[in-house]
Amino acid sequence: MKIIIYFLFFVSLVISVNAIDVKIDVKDIFKEGDLIFFDYTINSNKDQEVTFSPHVTCIGGFTTIPGKENVILKTNQAYKGTYKTTKVTEDFDPAQCDAIIDIEPTGSIKQPFKIDTLPRFNFEILACKDKECAKPSKVFLKGQEIYLSYISNINPTIKVVLYLPDKSKKEISLSESIKLDQIGTYVVSALVTDSNYKPIQKNIIVKVISKRQVLTKIISKKINSETITGKAVENISIYNNFKITTEKILKYFLLIINF
Per-residue model confidence (pLDDT) at position 61:
81
Q: Is the pLDDT of residue 31 over 50?
A: yes
Please give the order of strands across the beta sheet that includes 69-73: 29-31, 107-116, 95-104, 48-58, 69-73
Partners of 93 in the β-ladder: none
Q: Is 164 helix (H, G, I), strand (E, B) or coil?
A: coil
CA atoms of 213 and 44, how far apart (whole Å) = 81
Residue 8 has pLDDT above 50, yes or no: no
Q: How far apart are CA 250 and CA 259, in angstroms?
A: 15
pTM, two decimals, is 0.66
| pLDDT value, residue 106 | 79
Q: Which of 19-23, 50-54, 237-241 has the lowest mean pLDDT?
A: 237-241
> pLDDT value at position 105?
78
Measured CA angle at 255 (ends 250, 257), to 5 deg? 95
Give the pLDDT band (50/70/90) at residue 137: very high
243 by Cβ neighbours in 10 Å (0-12 / 13-18 / 19+) ranks as middle
Q: What is the pLDDT of residues 161-219, one digit of tens each?
A: 999 999 999 999 998 899 999 999 999 999 999 999 999 999 999 999 987 766 565 56
The contacts of residue 107 (CB under 8 Å, 6+ apart) are none
